[in-house]
Amino acid sequence: MTLVHCENITKIYNNSFAALDQVTLAIEDGEFISIMGPSGCGKSTLLNILGLLDTPTGGRYRLEGQNASDFKDSRRTLWRRKKIGFVFQSFNLLPRISALENIMLPMTYNGLLRKSAAQKARFLMKLVRLEGKEANNPLQLSGGEKQRVGIARSLANDPALILADEPTGNLDSKSGAEILELFLDLNRQGKTIVLVTHDHNIAAKTKRIIKLKDGRIVE
Amino acid sequence: MTKLATVITTSLLEIWAHKLRSLLSFLTMAIGVGAILYTFAITEGTSQRMKKAMAIAGQGRMEIGPKRGGDYKSKGLSPGLTLNDAKAIRSAFPELAMVSPEIERWGAGFIYKDFKDGSLAARGITLEWAKRDWGYTTRGRFLNQTDIDTAARVCVLIEPGRWLKKPWWIKRWASRKDDFNSWIVRRDLLGKNVIIGNEMFLVVGIIQEPTREKDPRWFRGRWSWGDGLMPITTLMKSVTSRYDASDSPDKIDSIDIDTGNEETVSSYRKKIEALMRLRHRGEEDFEVFEYRERYADQIAEQKKTARATLLMGIICVLAGGIGIMNVTLATIYSRIKEIGIRRAVGASRSDIVLQFVIEAMLLGLLGGIFGIALGLLGINTFLKDIRWMDIATFHPIHFMAALTIAVGTGFIFSIWPAWMAAKLDPVEALRYE
């Protein structure tokens, strides 16, 4: 089943600079794709559009067969909450609440009861091998641990699509390898993952590599 | 519900993380709420007190006195306010509950053995005097008709009511420990001869006022440095006690009237005024005022003060609201990234609005609670000493209103900043450092 279907997606900033230029892309359910390319080639913009954080200025974006480029903000939020999981390079955890509560955040926005959200968050912490660190503040975690929390958070609402923007970019090679292992595991369990990276070694382990340059897919 | 609980927890964490900033933002609010509460309490207390005093004084009270203002010049036709006026009113309207003429001689002077006091007021009265709001306990006897008829040199002294618990300002104010009031409570002058205004009087009775706490008449502003009651006839004969020897010896200072019923005051007033004009040969040298009017005036006066305080309170609350708005904006600017993260993991615009509005409302609530504490503190500090007057009366509704105002202000002043926050582009917000 085609999960994502992009047709001639264009994103133009300030009526002049085209961050994305006629990008056409289809992603099947269960794929693991890496997007590569130099800085400023539009990788993050593409990811944001795929994640319904941003809207294209042109073209059509279909997610699960629905025309998501026409969605209003409220619907985009709802879909982002239920179908998308973001993993960021700089982790983007809320510093004032515990690791567990960070993971619970998307679930509370989804209306889950606090008790069941906590239960599920504990399960997810176990999944990313972070048992025992539930009460820790993100500031008390190492980079690799933070990214595990980030991944657990992205899984909170069982999304159809996980979007990771250079998830290993801020990590040492050992932690980076562990994180990649985690992604591979998730993919084996059937998760669709789109991963932006600079690292050829990482890209090599994914099933498909897409190269972007100046807003266009070159490979 | 989970969402709301989470939002509240987050807000409290955020407020706690910025203690000083939060405190400063709701301090103004607290002052405003305090002022509003103070106003509520006093307005309520005053009106209750007035009603009580009104009830005790008698429903149909009015007083006839000489024309006030001092610039009235008699054309020589009227004899002025006299004892005969009182008698005429009494015989024309025998159904009236009270027609009590009175002569007041302030500062008549009092001597007993080696005690001297220059501030005692000598009051010449008839037996009708006792028909007013009587709350006294008597030792000896009150004046009787024979005393009046014979202009006897007898007097009844008023012993001031005691305090169950004396307020400190009374102690400080009444610095004269040797004044008549504090002197007489420690003496029993019953049956003794005393000198009032250079003449000897026999003390036939002592009447004691009720305890101050239980005497709502107090608020009428009746403050005396000591009172001696004597037959009006005696005082009229006593030339030495009059200011102006050229005055008619018949002249009296006031006639206190009680119709016994609030509804009849106006109609009796008209009849009595007509009678008085007739007796004064057309001269309008007297003035009638109803107690109701005096209460109304006082209530109006109180309300004016209350309005000013309330206005100040409202201004403070508005200033507090602006403070909260300012803090909400500051919070938003320092948490743009957080807004981006929350949006990315699925927070809707209304979630963001809710987050900041709830936070502001909590600030308002804190301000409100603080304000109530401040208001109570203010009432305790400024009014503790006159608590016997029940001046501040609390109603649960006052607290609720004060809190509602505080929380509502937090709500109103945070809507716009919160909406601004919600409208942020999530991509931009995420990129913000």
pLDDT digits (tens, 9 = 90+) for B169-217: 555 555 456 678 778 888 888 999 999 888 899 999 998 887 765 665 5
Give chain B's mean pLDDT: 82
Q: Return all residues near B182 (Cβ < 8 A) that are at least 6 apart.
A: B174, B176
Interchain contact B10–A (C-beta under 8 A) = yes
ipTM at complex level = 0.93
Instruction: Quote the minimal CA–CA distance from A12 to chain B in Å.
Output: 15
Could you tell me the two tokens for B414? Answer: 């945070």
Distance CA B347, CA B336 (A): 14
pLDDT of B388 > 50? The answer is no
pLDDT of A5 > 70? The answer is yes
- Split at pLDDT 50, 70, 90, the class of B35 is confident
Cβ–Cβ under 8 Å, residues A132 and A99: no
Question: Hey, are the CB atoms on B337 and A92 less than 8 Å from each other?
Answer: yes
pLDDT digits (tens, 9 = 90+) for B56-72: 666 788 889 888 766 67
Distance CA B215, CA B87 (A): 31
With beta carbons under 8 A apart, name residues in chain A contacting B345: 81, 86, 105-106, 109, 153, 156
- Split at pLDDT 50, 70, 90, the class of A34 is very high
pLDDT score recorded for residue B81: 87
Distance CA B261, CA B4 (A): 60
Beta strands in B70-136 (DSSP E): 98-105, 110-112, 115-117, 121-125
pLDDT of B156 > 90? The answer is yes
**Phi, psi (rounded to 5 degrees) for B148:** -65, -50
Strand partners, B341: none
Distance CA B268, CA B264 (A): 6
Interchain contact B16–A (C-beta under 8 A) = no
Q: What would the mean pLDDT of B73-77 be, rounded to a whole number? A: 74
pLDDT of B389 > 50? The answer is no
pLDDT digits (tens, 9 = 90+) for A40-54: 888 889 999 999 999
Instruction: Quote the minimal CA–CA distance from B339 to chain A in Å.
Output: 10
Instruction: Quote the minimal CA–CA distance from B39 to chain A in Å.
Output: 41
Distance CA A120, CA A117 (A): 5
pLDDT score recorded for residue B134: 72
Cβ–Cβ under 8 Å, residues B255 and B101: yes
Find the CB nearest B17 among A88, A96, A105: A96
* Measured torsion, CA atoms of residues B21, B23, B26, B31, in degrees rounded to the nearest 10: -140
pLDDT of A158 > 80? The answer is yes
Instruction: Quote the minimal CA–CA distance from A44 to chain B in Å.
Output: 10
pLDDT score recorded for residue B183: 83
* Measured torsion, CA atoms of residues B385, B388, B390, B394, in degrees rounded to the nearest 10: 60
What residue has token string 């999304």? A159
Q: What would the mean pLDDT of A26-52 be, rounded to a whole number? A: 91
Closest CA to A57 of A95, A88, A18: A18
pLDDT score recorded for residue A96: 85
3-state secondary structure of B157: strand
- Split at pLDDT 50, 70, 90, the class of B387 is very low
Question: Hey, are the CB atoms on A156 and B345 less than 8 Å from each other?
Answer: yes
Interchain contact B64–A (C-beta under 8 A) = no
Tally Cβ neighbours within 10 Å of residue B331.
26
Read off the amino acid at residue B183.
W
Buried b (16+ CB within 10 A) or exposed e, B51-68: eebbeebbbbbbbbbbbe
H runs (alpha helix) in A71-140 = 73-83, 99-109, 114-127
Cβ–Cβ under 8 Å, residues B171 and B177: no
pLDDT score recorded for residue A33: 94
Tally Cβ neighbours within 10 Å of residue B169.
11
What does each C-alpha distance from A23 to A5, A36, A194, A197 come to in angstroms? Answer: 10, 14, 15, 18
pLDDT digits (tens, 9 = 90+) for B279-319: 888 888 888 888 878 777 877 887 788 888 888 888 888 88
What residue has token string 């006299």? B82
Question: Hey, are the CB atoms on B345 and A94 less than 8 Å from each other?
Answer: no
Q: What would the mean pLDDT of B76-95 be, rounded to a whole number? A: 88
Interchain contact A119–B (C-beta under 8 A) = no
Distance CA A197, CA A43 (A): 9
Q: What would the mean pLDDT of B243-269 be, rounded to a whole number? A: 80
pLDDT of A155 > 90? The answer is yes
Cβ–Cβ under 8 Å, residues A150 and A87: yes
Cβ–Cβ under 8 Å, residues A98 and A118: no
Q: What would the mean pLDDT of A193-205 be, rounded to a whole number? A: 90
Interchain contact B427–A (C-beta under 8 A) = yes
pLDDT score recorded for residue B269: 92
Tally Cβ neighbours within 10 Å of residue A131.
10
Give first-to-last CA distance, chain A, whole Å.
22
Interchain contact B3–A (C-beta under 8 A) = yes
Give the angle subtended at the CA of B164 by the CAs of B53 and B204, to the nearest 5°: 75
Cβ–Cβ under 8 Å, residues B360 and B413: yes
pLDDT of A92 > 90? The answer is yes
State chain B's maximal CA–CA distance in angstroms.
104
Closest CA to A50 of A90, A16, A23, A89: A23
% chain B with pLDDT above 70: 85
Greater confidence (B275 vs B393) lies with B275
Interchain contact A87–B (C-beta under 8 A) = no
Interchain contact B14–A (C-beta under 8 A) = yes
Question: Hey, are the CB atoms on B345 and A105 less than 8 Å from each other?
Answer: yes
pLDDT score recorded for residue B51: 72
pLDDT score recorded for residue B176: 54
